[in-house]
A and B are shown apart, each in its own frame.
Chain A
């Protein structure tokens, strides 16, 4: 007779021997490095060109983001429409993203079309022209989008909490204002493009079922461009944190929810506490079974979701708690978060709960290693943060071996409510 009360035997994920598949590396004729993860069953590929062209290098607001957005909106021989139509005709996606330190162009396509598409990506990097009209349309539409976003409590909260942590003039703390868009012109965009893309520091990441001879395809298209492997000249940005710790803002009188953000500064990935704190964070608010979710969603029903996480920055990080809660229970939600911090400071986590977190983390890591795009994503993260595979193996070791005492001691160091900014936007 089947006894449904008895849990089936499991192999604990902490006993798995996880291996990170190595990526191939080579350089183009101009020394631009290529990182490749050749794997997968589907005939699809991804190529990402990562430039050191994030808003870290902005000399005035929004130039990096605008340059990145408009880079495929016209070359010396093609209009924005022709470029888009070309990629779309081949069922390909050429996306661009601007981050703090880097900005990228990413191509997703069927393997069979790669050779046809690469020369046009080259043309974009080499001869983008940034037409006035394209900039005008972009500014108009961005301002409109901003006006809609400014009605959302979560959007306002995300901006302000970054400002408190880093300062409005720091790349991590700055945000867009309608009036800043009016300062943009094609001259500054073109200058930024020339310095940080055309003659920029570039790394290429490729993954999937790459066609035979892809190395020479890449070299032919990109190895003769004036791209650099050497990093940009160092730019420093001082962090200026806000002095007021608790802020409440009414953005919408009729709002039925409040966006709550609680955050404190935290060191970057190179700090010895980082990986252990990652385990503590998972326990605290980093997965569905976390303390915050169990208490504030699953027991109290104050919110649809509450999470804690580390913000992903290269130079410095922040430890963040984020939720949208019913307007009348915002204060109660904050009180519960503080209570959960206190419990972590005062009581060592019991073995059973910690084992669950360890198994969950390793199992989820195993899932994250599944597939070429996920793998190259992990490698990219290591490369851009100056890390290598040792970081991976050390993080597994940490998950397996960190003790309740170490976690409690970390909680005492970092989970002090007085160190956290506390923001509610309704």
Chain B
């Protein structure tokens, strides 16, 4: 059970405080309700580029990192398709430095041309390092645009193409900032060796004067129900054939999400999971195979992703995966298998909660989802899953017309 207190400033900023006197550190976590899904299709990669610009100086402070490091702190940030999260950890005595820094960049960035010019380059190098200059680096670019036709999950957080980032202008940056980076669209979590009253005082002092801004009302196109199977075959300069297949699953807050999560565990969670045991160990069609999902807030994808053993035909491998999926649809799982994936989930939650940083970001995420206290009832939702609900859900999502297949052939 993770304890926390919550209050809201007049400007709409939600503040959550998690006291943990056992650590000498404090964590300040600011989550903004904006991700790659909120981008203009002609300007993808912007939310992530923006994350970089948040370190390029704010209206009153020319450098974010230096004062934080001087206070003994460290920080980082990440952008997903759904949200952007900034976090720093520093000795609890120096927590005011984090309030000063985070509030100033929420007040306004410096919007320097030099910072934009440099970070455009840095992000382009990041794009190259992870998605161009790596074998199979473009798999998810291709899969996302195959599986989604209208929803903005059809592009990656890094962006659809380099040119979108290269062409970013300072006015675009300003508009994006004042649309999304306002108190009313943000959540502040302060955790660690702190006191509620102290956080109230500091939050009022540093964040209170910032103008509320306009609540961003998200209106994303809804992905229509997929009615027939889609397939894409590509050939690339890679040594091994690869296979990725996805199926649409439910959104984060739907009951189906928990069933989908357990299904990915049954199929691909660990070396005794069904796909690994059957396809890597017994049949030896794949040298590696995984099953996972991204925890997307809107309706996401369940994915099976594997590399074929050299000499095995794509056709044989695809059929073998389908057979495993069909088994799940045809017969119900044993009670012991359900117990196993629930036990694994219990363990994952306990290990995640070890670090105060991870507790802080969980609190922020559940608050973004609507109610931070959901983090304490999450495990019960998994415990409520039954053999029958797993079976029904497998039959619901693993329908052929709900599937997207990417056959990634090694050039011969």
Contact = CB atoms under 8 A, between A and B. Distances in A.
Nearest to A14: B72
A300 interface: yes
The A interface is mostly helix, strand or loop, or mixed, namely mixed
Given A91-B346, A110-B350, A326-B125, A7 B89 contact: no
Interface residues of B, number: 82
Nearest to A141: B287
A356 B239 contact: no
Interface of A: 2, 4-5, 7-13, 16, 40-44, 80-81, 84-85, 88-92, 108-110, 137, 140-141, 144-145, 147-148, 150-153, 252, 254-257, 287-289, 297-304, 324-326, 355-357, 359-360, 362-364, 366-367, 369-371, 373
B184 interface: no
B72 A301 contact: no
Contact of A257 (B25, B129, B281): B129
Nearest to B135: A151
B72 A360 contact: yes
A8 B22 contact: no
Contacts of B99: 8
B88 to A, nearest CB: 11
Contacts of B284: 137, 140
Given A257-B128, A302-B121, A13 B272 contact: no
A137 B104 CA distance: 56
B73 interface: yes
Contacts of B125: 257, 301-304, 324-326
Contact of A144 (B206, B277, B309): B309
Contacts of A81: 271-272, 277, 281
20 contacts: A4-B60, A8-B99, A10-B71, A10-B94, A88-B272, A88-B340, A89-B343, A90-B343, A91-B344, A91-B348, A140-B287, A141-B309, A144-B239, A152-B133, A289-B69, A297-B122, A301-B120, A303-B122, A304-B123, A371-B354
With a 10 A CB-CB cut-off, give which of B25, B117, B118, B125 has the most chain A CB atoms: B125
A321 to B, nearest CB: 17
Given A42-B350, A256-B133, A359-B71, A145 B288 contact: yes
Contacts of A363: 69, 71-74, 90-91
A152 to B, nearest CB: 6
Contacts of B100: 4, 7-8
Contacts of B128: 256-257, 326
* List of 5 A-B pairs having minimum Cβ-Cβ separation, nearest first: A363-B72, A301-B121, A91-B347, A13-B72, A84-B272
A92 B351 CA distance: 11
Contacts of A5: 60-61
B205 interface: yes
B307 A144 contact: yes
Nearest to A146: B239
Contacts of B129: 257, 304, 324
Interface string B69-113: 111111000000000000001110110110110011001000000
B93 A11 contact: yes
A89 B354 contact: no
B371 interface: no
Contacts of A359: 69-72
A303 B121 CA distance: 8
Contacts of B205: 2
A51 B280 CA distance: 29
Contact of B239 (A2, A8, A151, A255): A151
Nearest to B239: A147
B24 A370 contact: yes
B91 A11 contact: yes
A10 B310 CA distance: 60
Contacts of A367: 25, 74, 89
Contacts of A90: 343, 347
B350 A366 contact: no
B269 interface: yes
A364 B70 CA distance: 11
Interface string B275-289: 001001100100110
A370 B100 CA distance: 25
A13 B71 CA distance: 7
With a 10 A CB-CB cut-off, give which of A41, A298, A300 has the most chain B CB atoms: A298
A92 B347 contact: yes
A148 to B, nearest CB: 6
B319 interface: no
A42 B354 contact: yes
Interface in B258-314: 269-273, 277, 280-281, 284, 287-288, 307, 309-310
A141 B272 contact: no
B392 interface: no
A8 B96 contact: yes
Given A8-B94, A304-B122, 13 more contacts: A8-B100, A10-B72, A12-B72, A85-B340, A88-B270, A89-B343, A148-B135, A148-B136, A257-B133, A288-B69, A298-B118, A304-B129, A371-B23
